[in-house]
Amino acid sequence: MEVKMLLLLVIITAVYAENCSYIFDKANYHKHEILKADGLPTNLVYNPNTKDLHFTLIDIETLQNDNVQTKMDQYVLSEGVAIKIDEINGQAAAVDVKNDKVYIASDKGLYTLEGNETKLIGLNDEDIVQVFKPANSDEIYTVLFPDSEVYAVDLKTFDRRRIENIPCAFIVIVDEDGNIFYECDSKYVKMLLRGFQEAIEFVGIPKNSARALALDDKNRVILAANDGVYWLKADSIIPKKLMDLDFVPSGIAVGDNKIFLSTSGHIYEFSSDDC
């Protein structure tokens, strides 16, 4: 009897070690695939109100061909089903948790998403490639093609102001204190502290390794890079590594104590619930 109990304990321990082998911020996490996709899922955004995951799916063949426009579509993953947002060329999404709104950035302007229907609300005919909605502001931050300039847009008047001290951005996020974190021209990750004129560069993150930014439930700025996941602090130029990765990420979202990471062909969910 004791031998059987010991064997069962060994099996349980082995299964636990296999399923909970990822460490995020000193806690064990279990990884499982929630979507297999034909393309590159990126621009992940989690909506805690609906438990939906918004993402952009990029066609890899057009991404690698400089002679054609990159094909991309906007999706929402709801209850395990990926639903394409039709009628617009969606390129990114942003969630306003407080006001329960979802914004879609497209090559023809800024839309809201209500159910599966989209409505154009502003920035008509602007090609918006990135978008982020801070929780405590009536502004939404947009990155406009082709110069990748960053604008803060008033959602009531749709007046916009360019963030002059950021030359360009391919990924951008704003914390609740108004500090802007961004990466420009495949170089290094920087932050522009609120009220300052000069951006500060984070050290220890290799050039051309930053892939995506997200805010977690604790208002921490989380970076997905080639070698892992980092916490970027506004009071330090040295990032804190929270997690090692064995794949190159293309997107990240954090919410409800879960981490969502995408890579070519896959979206994974990391959870500590079963650990």
| Cis-peptide, bond into residue 48, ω within 30° of zero | no
Average pLDDT, the chain: 91
Report pLDDT digits (tens) over 83-142.
999 989 999 999 999 999 999 999 999 999 998 899 999 999 999 999 999 998 999 999
- Environment class of 227 (CB within 10 Å of its CB; exposed 0-12, middle 13-18, buried 19+): middle
Residues 61 and 39: their CA atoms lie apart, in Å, by 9
User: Among 5-9, 43-47, 223-227, whose mean pLDDT is lowest?
Assistant: 5-9
Number of CB atoms found within 10 A of residue 132's CB: 26
Contact 211, 230 (CB under 8 A): no
Sheet holding 189-192, edge to edge: 171-174, 180-183, 189-192, 200-201
Report pLDDT digits (tens) over 211-224.
999 999 899 999 99
Number of CB atoms found within 10 A of residue 99's CB: 11
- Environment class of 164 (CB within 10 Å of its CB; exposed 0-12, middle 13-18, buried 19+): exposed
Taking the C-alpha atoms of 25, 31, 37 and 41 in order, what is their torsion angle to the nearest 10 degrees?
0
**Considering just the CA atoms, what is the radius of gyration of the chain in Å?**
20
**Following DSSP, what letter does each residue of 199-240 receive, concatenated?**
-EEPSSSPTT-EEEEEE-TTS-EEEEETTEEEEEPTT-SSPE
Residues 72 and 57: their CA atoms lie apart, in Å, by 5
Residues 36 and 11: their CA atoms lie apart, in Å, by 29
- Helix then strand then coil, in percent of the chain rounded to 5, is 10, 50, 45
- What letter represents residue 98's amino acid? K
Residues 92 and 144: their CA atoms lie apart, in Å, by 12
Q: Which own/partner contact pairs does 269-272 have at CB distance under 8 Å and 24+ positions apart?
A: 269/31, 269/32, 269/33, 269/34, 270/22, 270/24, 270/29, 270/30, 270/31, 271/29, 271/30, 271/32, 272/20, 272/24, 272/27, 272/28, 272/29, 272/30
Instruction: Identify the pLDDT of residue 70.
Output: 82
Instruction: Identify the pLDDT of residue 116.
Output: 83
Residues 234 and 193: their CA atoms lie apart, in Å, by 7
Buried b (16+ CB within 10 A) or exposed e, 200-217: eebeebeeebbbbbbbbe
The answer to whether residue 18 scores a pLDDT higher than 60 is no
> What's the whole-number mean pLDDT along residues 207-212?
95
Tell me the percentage of the chain whose pLDDT exceeds 90. Answer: 83
The answer to whether residue 2 scores a pLDDT higher than 90 is no
